[in-house]
């Protein structure tokens, strides 16, 4: 299922979907799954929260994919 994920945007969308499915509670800094997913994915890649949208189609390396997926599942 996650083999089809390639871009930064793919991982953000996947994380938001997983968070909604899990019924996570938000409240510390974000109040919805999409903002939480964006923050988690960007932070795990050492990118700023205001990363320009032009990077949304950037492909993740194998190591980055593993790191992001691990954090998504942990959250």
Express each pLDDT in 54-73 by its tens digit: 999 999 999 999 999 999 99
Q: What is the pLDDT of residues 12-63, one digit of tens each?
A: 999 999 999 998 877 777 778 999 999 999 999 999 999 999 999 999 999 9
Q: Give the C-alpha separation, 28 to 18, whole Å.
A: 19
pLDDT of 40 = 93
What's residue 29's pLDDT?
A: 78
What would the 3-class secondary structure string for the chain be? CHHHCCEHHHHHHHHHHHHHHHCCCCCCCCCCHHHHHHHHHHHHCCCCCCCCHHHHHCECCHHHHHHHHHHHHHC
pTM beyond 0.75: yes
Distance CA 35, CA 66 (A): 21
């Amino acid at each position: 299922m996650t083999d089809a994920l390639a871009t930064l945007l793919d991982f953000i969308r996947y994380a938001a979907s997983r968070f909604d499915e899990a019924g996570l509670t938000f409240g510390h800094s974000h109040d919805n799954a999409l903002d939480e997913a964006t923050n988690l994915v960007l932070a795990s890649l050492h990118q700023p929260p205001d990363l320009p949208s032009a990077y949304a189609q950037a492909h993740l390396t194998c190591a980055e994919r593993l790191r992001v997926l691990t954090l998504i599942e942990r959250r």
